[in-house]
Structure 1
């Protein structure tokens, strides 16, 4: 049974202040809130990057993009007025409640204090440390190794929300037409099978070597006869040039050419995805797209791994894992994986999932 105070909430602020993948991991919890309180309006507050994920989340009604001071790594200027402006904007929306989603390494207390100052009466969060009265509903922290989806669901279950589905939930229909148009520009029919390669992440410590990715993707393209759709952000354009050159004539270059929704539609349409542990991995899990994931030793697999899509996670065990580092001071030994292993993992998935696929006999049998 829902806590009586929370049962009356109709205007709820949900906060996840990290990146796209972190926001996507809240989708089962957001869906559960909507299912329990169908008349409630949910507003997502996220970082400017993470806020892009709102377009994929059917439970979200509005979004507040904001780079918060308490998760800044030294890039924000000294500007107290900016913080008062945030409080003012939140106060003006007259929220009934705030749900503060965090990872195991974060505290909800700065966010909860901001919500307190903005007049939000109900404030829910999970914490390892005592934070005074800034949270009205506090959940003691789960073990660090717990999956992030379960951490989020555990939070809302603590106030009585029932959860009917614990899988990721995204929407992509509105982007399918524009994604198909991008493929048609490269002479790929909308019903043609393709591989999708998303080779980059936002931090160096999670990037599998681009030349190895290119070798693996090229070999899979040769075996299957499929094109390789290469995706990435605009900032990845320059470093993608040698990779795209190595993939000729199999590559379809969409680096910097897609919105997040279009990327999700492309992932949903792929026969196989090759990527690192990044937001594309979570999109593939949500769309049940088979994936080979180069999973760096930066985190426990149990915290972030796909749970529903057919997936092969590849990484080498290392003593320094989990390091939670943005850059590797060593030689990325955790991702020292020969391209042949990537190819073998991809073929294993294809042969298991698609009975018409004969990897040793020339690819896809139509």
Structure 2
């Protein structure tokens, strides 16, 4: 077992929570080379990970939304790339609501002889090692630990003394070494907070007017607040930053955001990719968590967390991208004052442990 293909086909946050499992594979002396197969939405996160020797990127018709067409040519593109890699084994990482079987079928036809995955459905000859969710392991566990269980079933465990915390390659200088940092007036040696108001799924966003009010309140309490977002979120970040925050919308790539988060006192964010990125660099998170997915599985892992939001709201467990309940009560019920107090608590707790 010398060449291993690990697969995680969804978003940046999904790739980040798989990192400890990839570390387990890479640490095994039998593994000569580890390739990570990721989706285009997870590629930037995959590039931050220290373990893979190589990356393959492919847009999965059964994972991404919106999904690309499932044509024979598109499937052949993946099959041919995998066949060219000469892999001895594959480990397919999925969340509780995903099946490894479509990918396992393509990998099998590409010549991979040993495939591991977690599958509720009967896998037939598609998996050599099958974990049964709910039987072989509990579903109500953090996604980091779920991925580690899948890796362990494939024969890969973390080295002794490795606690399984998420990590990335050192991002130092990726933001603070750029003109954007100087223009923003941020200094890495002075305390600041990061507030990330956006999310790929609107159901996971704190209402923007609440984010703006929180920026105003936090700055009145003496904090410098940097507001982050991607290039498509510039209008949102400008509105949230207002006259009080520092608008960094579209000015940081993912590695720059990691550098910014690594030096921040805390992140305020919904349950979205930057919350997992903060966990990977060891920064505490005030998590405005929409219960459309379970917090026990998807809350930031391995760092101090203040979890806010009504976890019993009617939207819980729906996996909805758009809020199914009028008024978005699970997060709209969280006042800016509650966020400011959560910031105070988490920063005090972190400082007392330093």
Question: Scaled by the length of structure 1, what TM-score is found?
Answer: 0.89
Range moving further from structure 2, 179-188 or 17-26 = 179-188
* Structure 1 position 240, deviation (Å): 2.6
- Per-residue Cα deviation, 1:53-96 (whole angstroms, up to 9, x for no partner): 11221101111111112225564236321211211111111111
Q: Pick one of 28, 43, 59 that aligns with 1:67.
A: 59
Instruction: Provide the residue aligned with 1:334 in structure 2.
Output: 330
Q: Pick one of 289, 295, 304 that aligns with 1:301.
A: 295
* Structure 1 position 349, deviation (Å): 1.6
Checking the alignment, whether the CA contact within 8 Å between 2:212 and 2:239 is kept in structure 1 is no
Size of the aligned set, in residue pairs, is 343
Q: Pick one of 304, 315, 321 that aligns with 1:320.
A: 315
Structure 1, unmatched stretches of 5+, are 1-8, 356-366
Q: RMSD across aligned C-alpha pairs, in angstroms? A: 1.8
Structure 2, unmatched stretches of 5+, are none
- Per-residue Cα deviation, 1:162-190 (whole angstroms, up to 9, x for no partner): 223321121233x5254343322222233
* Structure 1 position 195, deviation (Å): 1.0
SS across alignment from 1:154 = helix
* Structure 1 position 275, deviation (Å): 0.6
Which structure has the larger Rg? 1
Partners of 1:202 and 1:160 in 2: CA distance: 34
Range moving further from structure 2, 259-268 or 32-41 = 32-41
Partners of 1:146 and 1:308 in 2: CA distance: 13
Instruction: Provide the residue aligned with 1:352 in structure 2.
Output: 349
1:273–1:73 CA distance, 2 compared to 1 (3 A): closer
Instruction: Provide the residue aligned with 1:358 in structure 2.
Output: none
Q: Pick one of 131, 139, 147 that aligns with 1:144.
A: 139
Partners of 1:167 and 1:78 in 2: CA distance: 36
1:147–1:82 CA distance, 2 compared to 1 (3 A): same
Question: Scaled by the length of structure 2, what TM-score is found?
Answer: 0.92
Range moving further from structure 2, 109-118 or 34-43 = 34-43
Instruction: Provide the residue aligned with 1:361 in structure 2.
Output: none
SS across alignment from 1:319 = coil
Checking the alignment, whether the CA contact within 8 Å between 1:45 and 1:51 is kept in structure 2 is no
- Per-residue Cα deviation, 1:221-240 (whole angstroms, up to 9, x for no partner): 2212x321111111111233
Q: Pick one of 275, 279, 291 that aligns with 1:281.
A: 275
Within-5 A mapping of 1:196-275: 196-224=194-222, 226-245=223-242, 248=243, 250-275=244-269
Partners of 2:305 and 2:182 in 1: CA distance: 28
Partners of 1:215 and 1:98 in 2: CA distance: 48
* Structure 1 position 143, deviation (Å): 3.2
Range moving further from structure 2, 284-293 or 105-114 = 284-293
Would you tell me which structure has more helix in proportion to its own residues?
1
Q: Pick one of 43, 49, 62 that aligns with 2:35.
A: 43
